[in-house]
């Protein structure tokens, strides 16, 4: 309920204008590693020093201008040599709509091939984030094409447990050692495609992780929910899944103590580290996920 209301209000033009004008003053920097690449690199270095891995995400989505999509792709491809030069333990995530998926899927494929080639040249990895359900099929199709060209060690995908279709997807595309990030899902979805109740989303989450591990895939268990993490730990123990076949992932600025305690216990933990000027949609999804974040931002608003 809160999620739907926050996302609806966030789409109002004056609200967006207010936030984009005052940006970091409203506590945005709790969730975003900075607006520039040097700021993000400094945060990744800090995470690495604490024994945490990272995923860099140049923020942006729903780009319809071809030139802008090309520039974004060039900036994303450039991240791989930068990561290598700085000796960072980080890979990269991409949203296909920031490369024009909705308006020109062929251009999007070409740009993704460029990005994946750079990832391969630097022996790194790129993951395709999953966006709202209007682009799920196109995202899965494009992922399949790229995986057959570059292999599962260079390219991965995200599946969302709130979508009814994900159990079928995990069986169809989770084979051959594929690297899948499993999340609950962050968008506003209609009831004919997605579970609404937390209980159902959580149950589907554990089923997806289990199915993926059982068929030999690599699982990126992306959640801050201690109950999900507990269930996955119990599952990996029961199925005798070695630690090199899964990792935990959490978002920058969220559940930081949990990130540390899992890393201290010897598990691979990767922090999704978003940066860039186009932070507004990502930021509003984080606010919508948790009432406490709404009050955190409101406090900053009233102070300024
Ligand atoms: P929830 O049941 O939502 O939360 C469990 C507990 O975690 C809460 O009680 C709270 O303590 C904590 N928590 C959760 N969210 C927050 C928050 N915003 N602020 C503070 N505490 C919080 N979604 C997609 O749709 N596509 C993607 O590609 C995608 N990539 C992701 C990558 C990573 C690494 C992660 C961690 C999440 C990603 N998500 C993505 C978001 C995901 O779908 C969920 O919306 C988000 O992770 C919240 O769900 P949860 O699993 O933490 O569980």
pLDDT at 294: 67
269: β partners: 248
Lowest mean pLDDT among 14-18, 169-173, 177-181: 14-18
Is 130 assigned to a binding site? Answer: yes
In this structure, the residue with its CA closest to atom 9 of ligand 1 is 225
157: β partners: 128, 180
Q: Which of 127, 147, 154, 181 is catalytic?
A: 181
Res 263 pLDDT > 90: yes
Backbone angles phi, psi at 46, to 5 degrees: -65, -40
Q: What gap in Å lies between CA 88 and CA 41, rounded to an integer?
A: 8
Residues with CB under 6 A from ligand 1: 129-130, 158, 160, 183-187, 222-225, 249-251, 254-255, 272, 286, 289-290, 293
196 catalytically annotated: no
In this structure, the residue with its CA closest to atom 8 of ligand 1 is 225
Is 95 assigned to a binding site? Answer: yes
- pLDDT, tens digit, 9 for 90 and up, residues 6-65: 777 677 676 677 677 666 566 788 899 999 999 999 999 999 999 999 999 999 999 999
Q: Tell me what the mean pLDDT of segment 255-267 comes to.
A: 97
Pick from 55, 169, 251, 285 the residue to mutate for probing ligand 1's pocket: most ligand atoms within 8 Å of its CB: 251
CA atoms within 13 A on the CB side of 12: 7
Q: 123: Cβ–Cβ under 8 A, 6 or more apart, which residues?
A: none
Q: Tell me what the mean pLDDT of segment 231-253 comes to.
A: 97
In this structure, the residue with its CA closest to atom 38 of ligand 1 is 183
DSSP codes, 236-252? HHHTT--GGGEEEEEET
pLDDT at 302: 62
Q: How much distance in Å is there from the Cα of 181 to the middle of ligand 1?
A: 12
Q: How much distance in Å is there from the Cα of 68 to the middle of ligand 1?
A: 29
pLDDT at 227: 98
| Residue pair 122/84 in contact by the 8 Å Cβ criterion | yes
Percentage of the chain exceeding pLDDT 70: 91
Q: Which residue has the higher pLDDT, 8 or 174?
A: 174
Pick from 163, 223, 282 the residue to mutate for probing ligand 1's pocket: most ligand atoms within 8 Å of its CB: 223
pLDDT at 303: 62
Q: Which atom of ligand 1 is nearest the CA belonging to 198? A: 2
Q: What gap in Å lies between CA 70 and CA 210, rounded to an integer?
A: 38
- Which domains, and CATH codes, for the chain? 1-31+286-304 (no CATH), 32-278 (3.20.20.220)
Cα dihedral 46, 159, 145, 243 in deg (nearest 10) = 60
Q: Tell me what the mean pLDDT of segment 124-143 comes to.
A: 98
In the block, which residue shows the tokens 């399949």?
144
Q: What gap in Å lies between CA 72 and CA 58, rounded to an integer?
A: 8
Q: What gap in Å lies between CA 139 and CA 159, rounded to an integer?
A: 10
Q: How much distance in Å is there from the Cα of 184 to the middle of ligand 1?
A: 7
Element (H, E) at 214: helix 198-214
Exposure string of 200-216, with b = 16+ CB inside 10 Å and e = fewer, is ebbebbbebbbbbbeee
Q: What gap in Å lies between CA 81 and CA 119, rounded to an integer?
A: 9
- pLDDT, tens digit, 9 for 90 and up, residues 67-116: 999 999 999 999 999 999 999 999 999 999 999 999 999 999 999 999 99
pLDDT band at 174 (very low <50, low <70, confident <90, very high): confident
Q: How many other C-beta atoms can be found within 10 angstroms of the C-beta atom of residue 87?
A: 8
132 catalytically annotated: no
CA atoms within 13 A on the CB side of 127: 27
């Amino acid at each position: 309920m809160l999620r739907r209301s926050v996302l609806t209000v966030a789409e109002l033009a004056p609200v967006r204008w207010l936030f984009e004008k005052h940006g970091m003053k409203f506590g945005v920097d709790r969730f975003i590693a900075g607006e520039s690449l040097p700021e993000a690199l400094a945060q990744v270095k800090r995470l690495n020093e604490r024994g945490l891995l990272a995923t860099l995400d140049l923020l942006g989505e729903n780009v319809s201008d071809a030139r802008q999509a090309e520039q974004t792709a060039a900036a994303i491809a450039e991240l791989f040599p930068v990561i290598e030069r700085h000796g960072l333990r980080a890979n990269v995530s991409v949203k296909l709509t920031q490369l024009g998926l909705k308006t020109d899927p062929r251009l999007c494929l070409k740009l993704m091939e460029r990005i994946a080639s750079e990832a391969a040249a630097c022996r790194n990895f790129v993951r395709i984030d999953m966006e709202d359900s209007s682009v799920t099929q196109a995202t899965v199709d494009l992922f399949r094409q790229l995986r057959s060209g570059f292999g599962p060690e260079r390219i991965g995908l995200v599946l969302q447990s709130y979508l009814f279709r994900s159990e079928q997807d995990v069986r169809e595309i989770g084979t051959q050692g594929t690297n899948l990030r499993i999340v609950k899902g962050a968008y506003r979805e209609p009831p004919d495609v997605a579970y609404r109740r937390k209980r159902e989303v959580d149950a589907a989450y554990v089923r997806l992780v289990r199915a993926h591990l059982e068929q030999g895939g690599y699982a990126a268990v992306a959640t801050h929910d201690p109950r999900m993490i507990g269930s996955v730990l119990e599952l990996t123990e029961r199925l005798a899944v070695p630690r090199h076949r899964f990792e935990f992932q959490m978002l920058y600025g969220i559940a930081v103590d949990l990130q540390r305690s899992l890393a201290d216990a010897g598990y691979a933990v990767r922090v999704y580290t978003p940066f860039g000027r186009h932070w507004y949609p990502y930021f509003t999804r984080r606010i919508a996920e948790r009432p406490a974040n709404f009050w955190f931002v409101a406090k900053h608003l009233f102070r300024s």
